[in-house]
Structure 1
């Protein structure tokens, strides 16, 4: 379901709100979800290591079980899909594929490729789990926000959810120790308008121009 009119990025940002009431009869195809995810992964990431993974949940029985894990939030069950965004604590293991792909695409020469691979392998593996988890969480936030804006641009609604039992999620979906759940994103067609919200004035959050 593509948006019928071309909107500016500013319009999409202003129109995106967190929707919690969805039409349970509305379906989004796997092809459309894959297309949105593919576009979302153009988001930036630390050293371009892309430390995100996705689990797309559409099966009705599975969504019902997930609802119990997600503090009984209705949108988990009624949205067309729930996209779980996972962080990759061992993102440095992507380095060969990432930089060789850039080399083969003609974006860098072989010497630069080898330098970047070597530099990554000298730093990331020796960082603590906490540091790497923080990096992956930050980058997962970038791809998540990009995904929600893409969905809105295509005429869908979303809501991000951090309130769920992550240990139960890991057990339910057999998530390996390398990955950890960051956020759930419900996506579908709104059955009810989102609550309008306000934001703090810029003067309250802008500390200074220096």
Structure 2
């Protein structure tokens, strides 16, 4: 199923020619089936201790987009109006509560042995069960950021373009879509769709010289 929907399997093109798009072809719709497949592919991303502390909300209706306009910065209106959907990524600070079931399933599937299962329950799980809220927020933000980048690459492999957005009132994001704001921490919004044929990027970004941003140690 996934192979049929992936239209670009050129790694270099997917990664290095990705760009942020602000105007999309508003006539292009993405089916819920394909979104489910893209999210399935996205959730193969790595996460802290395999916690997978992410949650996605796909906003693809006019009613949903009207909600976005209530708390997004005005300069993001073109993306809202023209994208096929806005993908909202939230960190899930309660993800550890499903952790036992997740690893138990891995054990019953034969993916890990009993010794590994016991190790997880005696090491990783207690770390989260006794963690303070700020630690849970930080880990879920890291997990969701990894998923965000993976989603943008997955979307491009499916033939779509994206625009990651952080310009919105984070205090309103969860409640606007009936989520518990303490549990679900907004990390990023990603507009997704197809560019118009005549679209020209407003800015061709310049990258810092590589020697400025790394060193060997």
Q: Give the structure-2-normalised TM-score.
A: 0.90
Give the structure 2 partner of residue 23 of structure 1. Answer: 25
Distance 2:50 2:159 in 1: 29
- 40-49 vs 176-185, greater mean Cα deviation: 176-185
State which of 50, 67, 84 in structure 2 corresponds to 1:80.
84
Give the structure 2 partner of residue 209 of structure 1. Answer: 216
**Structure 2 gap ranges (5+):** none
CA contact (8 A) 1:26 1:80 kept: yes
State which of 178, 181, 186 in structure 1 corresponds to 2:183.
178
**Structure 1 gap ranges (5+):** none
Runs of 4+ residues deviating >4 angstroms: 1-5
CA contact (8 A) 1:16 1:152 kept: yes
CA contact (8 A) 2:8 2:158 kept: no
Q: 1:3 offset after TM fit, Å?
A: 5.6
Per-residue CA distance 1:12-50 (angstroms, 9 max, x = gap)? 111110001011111011111110110000001011010
Q: 1:137 offset after TM fit, Å?
A: 0.4
Give the structure 1 partner of residue 118 of structure 2. Answer: 114
Give the structure 1 partner of residue 39 of structure 2. Answer: 37
CA contact (8 A) 1:67 1:77 kept: no
Q: Give the structure-1-normalised TM-score.
A: 0.93
Distance 1:171 1:53 in 2: 14
Specify whether residues 134 and 4 from structure 1 end up closer, same or farther in structure 2 by C-alpha distance, changes over 3 A only.
Answer: closer
CA contact (8 A) 2:164 2:190 kept: yes
Give the structure 2 partner of residue 198 of structure 1. Answer: 206
CA RMSD of aligned residues (A): 1.6
Q: How does 1:45-194 map to 2 (within 5 A)?
A: 45-72=47-74, 73=76, 74-176=78-180, 177-191=182-196, 192-194=199-201
Specify whether residues 100 and 193 from structure 1 end up closer, same or farther in structure 2 by C-alpha distance, changes over 3 A only.
Answer: farther
Distance 1:201 1:2 in 2: 36
Distance 1:62 1:88 in 2: 21
| SS of equivalent residue, structure 1 residue 166 | coil
